[in-house]
Structures are given as C-alpha cells and as structure tokens.
Amino acid sequence: MTHFSNFEKKIKVIFKNKDLLKQAFTHRSYINENPAASLSHNERLEFLGDAVLELIVTDFLYKKYPHYTEGELTALRSALVNAVIISEIALKIGMNDYLLLSKGEAKDYGKARQYILANTYEAFVGAMYLDRGYDAADKFVAETLLPKTEEIVNKKLWRDAKSLVQEKAQEFVLVTPAYKVLHQSGPDHDKHFTVGIYFGPDLIAEGKGKSKQEAEQKAAEAALKIKNWLD
C-alpha cells in the first residue's frame, strides 16, 4: 500500500482502512481484467460519495448565499458538481496517478477518463466519509472543490447559457433561438461538432464541442457575449 500512502501524505489524510482507500481508486475494468485481485470496484462508494458531496455543497451554498432562490442555488450546485469541474479537481490533486484501470482504459485519455476521474473523486469522498466521518469529508471538499465557487459565480457559469439566451431572445428580439449542426468530424469515439445558433434566419454565433449539447452551450455562451446579455 506504499503507492497510496503517497496520496495520503499529499492530501494530509491517513486512512484507517487502507482497503477502502484502494477501492476508491479501483475502476470496474481493472476488476474484470484482474479477477484474482480480491478487490471491489468503486461504484458503490461513488453512489455514497455522490450523496455526501451533494449535501456538503448544498450546505455550503445555502449558508454562503442567503439571498439566492432555490432555483439559483440548484443551478449553482449543478455547475459546481458537474463532471468537468470535478475531474479538473481530481486531476489537480493527482488522482490520475493512482487510478487502477484495465490496460485498455489506461490508454484512453479522452472524455472517458474525465468521467472516471470525476467518479473517483466522488468514490473517494464516500470512502473518506466511511473511514473518517462527515467532518473529514467536508474538510476535504472545502479544500479541493469549494474554492471553485467564486470563479463560477463571478463568471456566471452557474447560469445555463441555453436557457438564458432563450429568455433574453424572447424578451428583446421576440424569437426563440434555433440550433443547427454546421460541421462534424472525427471517428465515433472522438467526434467534434460545430453548431450555429440562429435568431430567425440570422446566424448569431457558433460553438464547438465533443457533443452536440456541448457545442450548443458554447454557441449560446457566444451569443450572450455578442448581444451583451450576460448582465
């Protein structure tokens, strides 16, 4: 377990149950490839950690933003606990170096790895909750994830761009925005989309992403900036 002791030193938390720590980093693919390893994968821990993380974040936001409505708090929480943000945090604190993956998964550094990292972070929160209690899990999340809140609030990243641009377009130009795929490229496992957002016949902005939904969000964000509708 010396491998994982390095991670414990890094985050300044020592686990009582080292098997629980290792399980948090064990992906299902590793178990499938190493059935004799007598390990469990991290999906049950992820299930628990997801709920613990949501409570920690909800409690923090509720106290920090007393004037926000339920809808605003929900949107802000969703922006904070989405897979992109959590995987960034997991990468930043070095979780990628400790993942137990199959040989195939270990070679994939695309969107699949992003989700694996986000799930591992949640599994680790679950493991910490079981091993060290709620306060320890709360402290870990407060030190790693919650500092992102200010950036999300300041850049208004918590507001869903598609919903906001639809609201503004209906208010100011009396149209409902439409989205159209302008270009797509790449193999099935690594697609890239360019989507245009239209107000009636007029192309307002374009957005790029690895899915149509991501490209639509980027196009909506670009349209909000072009129209100066962010405030």
Using CB atoms within 10 A of its CB, is residue 121 exposed (0-12), middle (13-18) or buried (19+)? buried
Q: Does 106 reside within a domain?
A: yes
150 and 177 in a common domain: no
Residue 157 has pLDDT above 70, yes or no: no
The domain that holds 99 is classified in CATH as 1.10.1520.10
Mean pLDDT value of segment 29-43? 88
Q: Does 209 reside within a domain?
A: yes
> Does the annotation place 122 within a ligand binding site?
yes
Q: What's the pLDDT band for 114 if we cut at 50, 70, 90?
A: confident
Q: Read off the pTM.
A: 0.72
Query: Which of 33, 59, 122, 143 is the catalytic position?
Result: 122
Total domains, the chain: 2
> Does the annotation place 96 within a ligand binding site?
no
Tokens 């500092």, residue located: 147
| pLDDT of amino acid 79 | 84
* Final residue before a domain boundary, out of 134, 154, 174: 154
101 and 37 in a common domain: yes
The domain that holds 182 is classified in CATH as 3.30.160.20
219 and 203 in a common domain: yes
Percent of the chain topping pLDDT 70:
96
Mean pLDDT value of segment 93-119? 86
Q: Does 56 reside within a domain?
A: yes
- Residue 202 catalytic? no
Q: What's the pLDDT band for 231 if we cut at 50, 70, 90?
A: low
179 and 124 in a common domain: no
Tens digit of pLDDT for each residue in 182-205? Answer: 999 988 878 899 999 999 999 999
Helix (H, G, I), strand (E, B) or coil at 207: strand
* Final residue before a domain boundary, out of 154, 174, 205: 154
Return the higher-pLDDT residue of 37 and 49: 49
Mean pLDDT value of segment 171-178? 93
Q: What CA–CA distance (Å, rounded) separates 222 from 215?
A: 10
Query: Which of 8, 43, 50, 206 is the catalytic position?
Result: 50
117 and 58 in a common domain: yes
Q: Which two tokens stand for residue 74?
A: 């929900």
12 and 91 in a common domain: yes
25 and 131 in a common domain: yes
88 and 14 in a common domain: yes
Residue 127 has pLDDT above 50, yes or no: yes
> Does the annotation place 43 within a ligand binding site?
no
216 and 131 in a common domain: no
Q: Does 19 reside within a domain?
A: yes
Q: Which residues form the domain of 203?
A: 161-226
* Final residue before a domain boundary, out of 154, 182, 211: 154
Across 137-150, b (16+ Cβ under 10 Å) vs e yields bbebbeebbbebbe
142 and 62 in a common domain: yes
Phi, psi of 200 (to 5 degrees): 65, -130
7 and 109 in a common domain: yes
128 and 65 in a common domain: yes
Residue 44 has pLDDT above 50, yes or no: yes
- Residue 138 catalytic? no
Q: Does 231 reside within a domain?
A: no
